[in-house]
Each structure stands twice: as structure tokens, then as C-alpha cells.
A and B are shown apart, each in its own frame.
Chain A
Amino acid sequence: MSDAAMAPSDGVVEGEQMSGGQTTEQRAAARGGSAAAPLLEVDNLVKHFEIRGGLLGISKLGAVRAVDGVSFSVTEGETLGLVGESGCGKTTLGKVILRLLPPTAGSVNFEGKSLFDLSSRELKAARRDIQVVFQDPYASLNPRMSVGEIVGEGLYVHGMTNKRERESAVRDLLKRVGLNQQHIHRYPHEFSGGQRQRIGIARALALRPRFIVCDEPVSALDVSIQSQVLNLLSDLQDEFQLTYLFIAHNLAVVKHLSTRVGVMYLGKLVELSDADELYQAPAHPYTKALLSAIPVPDPTVRRERIVLKGDLPSPANPPSGCRFHTRCPMAQEICKVEEPPLRDVGGGHMSACHFAEEVTPLGSE
């Protein structure tokens, strides 16, 4: 089965469920545009997982190239959507930025300061600014801790040891994420998936971070709950001036929240552009295939459906040249030999395709 075909399941969030009907530009404009200096800069980030073997598990047999030279920057107040199919390295990328995984090479700068050169004290301080919301609302909450303990943990760790003070801060957070304050002494198993995700969001918010990595925060939720959580994230962004790195495997989910969107394939960024530009005029055949998988909530519309052949190649042994050439409908001889760089194809629209200019908008054929 083509992996691109997995995307539609979440498609219903599209359309009228988003509150207010604000477009991406309006939201970006409300936050002061994107002219400011980048808050987060990722430069040529590489994360390889070594495959070890042999008698003592010391000899190196190879490496899974989960993230293989990714560069981008995120401006304060914007949301960078990051999409790609399972196994393309987007979650790994998020974890390296969060310093949950050690990088193999490259650098990540937060406000101009490298996150990889911090002392453990500096790192702890930096963790206040960079938080995470995980995908699985069942695995991301410690079942043995009450909601109050979970949400208040960051406050405790960072020195708010007064119990009463902490509890009132937690109650405030619960209110802001739309949970009943009475539930502060309840345990995660008593909540539904959507409510648990709200608890996870409250935990991330507790330290008043400036940057949140949302690692597929709605992929594990029912479609009806997805839009609620997305709206919440969007509201909180306005309220707390947050900057998001929004990871998803689904372009439809990313569309409504993102100011810019990056598309990853096999550990590499293949396209990066303003959200609307990317949806209107994709400059990479992979993006186009992903876009064609978004269902249109109108049965009369007939749309071109690009089904990618074959499976995602192994990231331990990626194809030569352009990594997408094995599945690309536009592939030529040069694609097998020469790896296309991520280049500007006009107006800041970045694409890593030799034939980026020849990619037509969806449905134009």
C-alpha cells in the first residue's frame, strides 16, 4: 500500500470546524508577521542511529539516517508545520531539538545560542523555554501521578516548592486548557483521550515556554476531538505568544495552524514554503502526492489522485541521488545520480527537486 494513502483518515478537520474562520495570513499578521529574527535555527542537523553488532556489540554495521542534514529556522510567533510519512525522521528531529536525543552533527540555535553547547545548568534553564506535547495521550502521562502532580512537576523541578502556590498555578493552567479545576486530584486513567491531551498541553505550558514542539498532538485522537485540540493550541498561541514546531503526518491537519510548512522525506527536508503557497503551488512531486491524498469534502469534485508506488526505502540504506527517485513519477536519469539541493525556486519557496519548476499545481492536468 502506498504510504501517502494513509493521510486521509484525519481529513475531516478541514473546513468549517475551525473556529472563527481565520486564515493563516490573518493569524500571522495578528502576531506581527514574520519579519523578526528567527527564534530557532536548525542548521544542517544530522542524527544517525548506529546499528551495532558483533560479539560484544561494539562493531558498527551501519547507521539509520533518521535525520540527514536538515536546516530551517522558525520565527517568533509563527507555526512551522512539519509533515512526512511514518519513519521520515520528523519525530527524531523534534527530539533532537528538545535535547532528548544527542545529535550526530549540526547545530540548533535558540535565540542565537547553541543548544548543544550548554552546561547542564544552562540546559535546565533552556528547558523552561522549549517544551513538548506528545502524540500518545495514554503514554505521555504517568499513570501513578495525579493531574496536579503531572502539571505541577515542571514548577516543582524549577523551584516552586510551595505546595499551595503550585496548586493555585496548576488550577489556573487547567482552566486555561479547558479542564475542570476540580479534577486536579484525579488520575489520568479517569480522563478521555482529548482531556488527557489537554493535561499534556497544560504541563507543557506550566513553565511559560516560548517554543513548543507539538509532536503529532492530534494523530491519536478522534476526528471530532482533533479540531477541539487544534483550536485550543491556536488559542493558546495567541494568548501566550507561542511559537510552534507542529509535527504531523497529515497535510490537512497542518494546514490550519501553520504559517509555513516543511515536508520531509527519508530524513531530508524536500520542500519548505509559506503554507498557502505550498498548498496552491507545490514545487516537489512528493508534496503534490501528499496533497492529492487530502480528501475534499465535496462528492462532486473529481480530483487527480497520485498514488506513490512502492514503500519508503530503508533509511539505513537510502537511494542514491535524489532519495525520492525510486517512487517519483517525474524521475529522470539525473535524479538517480545527483542529489538535488534545497534551493529557492522563487519568493522564499524552497524545494529539493531538479525539476521543481515543472511541478504543476494539483488538478491542472
Chain B
Amino acid sequence: MVSDTTAAEIERRRAEEAEAESADIDRTPVRTYWQLVRQRFMKHRLAVFAVIVLVVLATYAIIVPTVTGDAWRTTQLFRDDAPPELFSEDGEFTFAVLGYNEYGQNLFARLGKATQTSLTIGLAAVIIIVVIGVFIGSIAGYVGGWVDNLLMRFVDIMLSLPGLFVILMITAFFGQGNVWVVVFAIGLTGWTTAARLVRAEFLSLREVDYVQAARALGASPQRIMLRHMLPPAMAPIVVAATLGIADSVVVESALSFLGFGIGRDSASLGTMLQNARDYFFSGPLKVVYPGVILILIVLSASFLGDGLRDALDPRQRVEK
């Protein structure tokens, strides 16, 4: 039997413990989930650097084509392979810091336009990939059963087709050279991985206690999916999406390089590489410029993906 003194003693000690614990929490400021995400992300040096690189590239892709206007496609035969300059001989501001190509086109302006095209295609394709992938994947993962079976076998079929050839066929069939056809071709073939990812996340989240608790509270399926399952599933999706941008840019370049992508009347990193192919030895810089941009996009996207993966994981603790 418990004596009164020990019971009182225990009561007092428990109160003290609770007090100490809450005092411990009170000393740290309230930090929301997103504040923590930012703190974790900032600790990831490479990812921060990647963001800076991507911002610089995006700025370049937006500003230079706007400022230089048509310079990226204006052919000036008398300026073929002309050296770099800021002003032309007649004092006109040209901003041709990378010189001219064999058609006398301003390489700096052309590279800006190409970066713009490639980044646009990459982003737009990824949006399609994420939308379709999240939709199909969340239905398969949440509903399960034969619906899941059916959708996933369809994904298997999609995955068994060689992606690049399907894209080639779509672009060849539906209007070669159109940017949006390329975007849709990449988007429609690329969503399978995202769908699998989301499905896997949903399948495991379905059994997690806090999702079960929400069901026990009577929350609707929509609320459970949007509030409890999609946010944690978003972390891998965001990571996959950043990597998807890199993939899409590369696929577009490959398409254009093969002559099925963006037409010659436009410019992308792929068309620039294709044009430069013939001058690999005489003018290697024409290959290097778009190549470097391509590498920068791909590397930055994957570093960004790494950083986001760590930052979005709520289990990672931030030390002060």
C-alpha cells in the first residue's frame, strides 16, 4: 500500500518534471514546418549554390532575349565567326560577348534564347509529369485493390516502351518543331515514375497511425489525402520534379540534336549543339557554350533535389 507521503512526493516530482519539460520548450522560439525546412536547406551549401546558379541562368534566359530582341536569329553573313565585341564597328550596342556563329548570329543572345526555350520546356514538361503522376499515383495508392492493379499494370506497359522513341514518334506525327508538342511528348511519357513514387508513398502512409487517427475522427477521404497524405508525399515528388527538369532538358536537347525537336527557326540548347557539331574542331567553343549551360542546369537541378530531400524531411533535426 502506498503511504501518503510517497504519493505526495511523487505528485510533486511529476509536476516538477512537467515544468522542466515545458520550460525547455519555451526557451526555443516557435518554428513552423516551413521555417525548419528553410533552416535545413540553408545548411546544404551545394543546394544553396545550385539555387544561385539556377536563378542566374533564369535571369539570363529572361533578360538577354528581351534586351537583344531578334539578335539571336538575325543572320549577318558579313559577321560570320566574328570575334566577341560589345559594340559593332558602327557604334551600335550588340552585346555579342561570345562572338558570332557561322551565320553571323549573336552567340550570347542565341544562347540566352536557347536557355529560355530549354528551361521552359523542362518546367512545363515537369508540371505535366507531376500533375498526371500525382493524380494516377494517389488514386492507385489510396484506393488500392483492383484499381491499383489496373493502373500499375498500365504504368508497367508505359515503362516497357522505350521513351525516346515514343517521343520521337509523337513529335514526328504531331508537328515537328512545335515547342508544345515536345512538352506534351515528354510529359506524357515521363509521368510513370512520379506515379509509382506517389503510389508507394500513399500505400505506406495509409497505414501510418496519424492517418488512421484522422479516419477514426471521421475525416473525409479528400481531407485525409490532401491534408495528411499529400504533404508528406510531396517531399519525394518535389525531389523527383527537380530531377525531372534536368531529364526533360536533356531529352529536349537529344530530340533537337536528332532533328526532331525545336525547329531551326527557334533555338534550344539541343539545336545549338547540333549546329555546332560540324565545327567541333574549327570552333569548339560553339559546342562548349551550350554544353556548359546544359551541364549547369542538370547539376544544379540534382543538387537542388538533394537539398530539398533533406530539408523536407521532418525527421531531420535542426541544431541551433
Contacts and interface: CB of A to CB of B under 8 A. Distances in A.
A225 to B, nearest CB: 9
Interface stretch (B5-13, B242-250, B302-310): B5-13
B191 to A, nearest CB: 23
B212 A134 contact: yes
Contacts of A86: none
Interface string B24-49: 01101011110000000000000000
A207 B215 CA distance: 14
Contacts of A131: 216-217
Contacts of A322: none
Given A21-B7, A143-B33, 10 more contacts: A17-B10, A98-B216, A100-B216, A127-B216, A134-B213, A135-B209, A141-B210, A183-B22, A183-B25, A203-B217
B247 to A, nearest CB: 28
B73 interface: no
A139 B209 contact: yes
A95 B314 contact: no
Interface string A114-155: 000000000110011011101110011111111000000110
Contacts of B161: none
A19 B32 CA distance: 37
A128 B218 contact: yes
Contacts of A203: 213, 217
Interface string B220-249: 100100011001100000000000000000
Interface in A167-204: 178-180, 182-183, 185-187, 189-192, 195, 200, 203
Contacts of B18: 178
A353 B214 CA distance: 40
A363 interface: no
A139 B210 contact: yes
B209 A136 contact: yes
A330 interface: no
A144 B232 contact: yes
A71 interface: no
A100 B219 contact: no
Contacts of A187: 31-33
A118 to B, nearest CB: 12
B178 interface: no
A154 B314 contact: no
Nearest to A56: B149
A312 to B, nearest CB: 22
B215 A100 contact: yes
Interface in B132-189: 149
A172 B315 CA distance: 29
B217 A195 contact: no
A182 B26 contact: yes
Nearest to A225: B17
7 contacts: A19-B10, A123-B218, A128-B218, A131-B216, A132-B213, A142-B227, A144-B33
Contacts, number: 100
A127 B217 contact: yes
A167 B315 CA distance: 27
Given A19-B11, A140-B213, A228-B14, A157 B219 contact: yes
B67 interface: no
* Chain B interface SS verdict (over half): helix
Contacts of B11: 19
A157 B22 contact: no
A197 to B, nearest CB: 12
A105 interface: no
B208 A139 contact: yes
A16 interface: yes
A39 interface: no
B28 A190 contact: yes
B25 A154 contact: no
Contacts of B26: 180, 182
Nearest to A131: B216
A20 interface: yes
A185 B26 CA distance: 12
Contacts of A144: 33, 231-232, 314
A185 B33 CA distance: 11
A183 B3 CA distance: 35
A140 B149 contact: no
B23 to A, nearest CB: 9
B90 interface: no
A207 B2 CA distance: 35
A153 B214 contact: yes
Contacts of B210: 139-142
B22 A153 contact: no
A143 B149 CA distance: 30
A303 interface: no
Interface string A209-243: 00000000000000000001000000000000000
Max count, chain A CB within 10 A of own CB: residue among B3, B11, B18, B223: B18
Given A140-B209, A189-B314, A153 B219 contact: yes
B22 A180 contact: yes
Nearest to A200: B213
Contacts of A17: 10
B89 interface: no
A203 B214 CA distance: 10
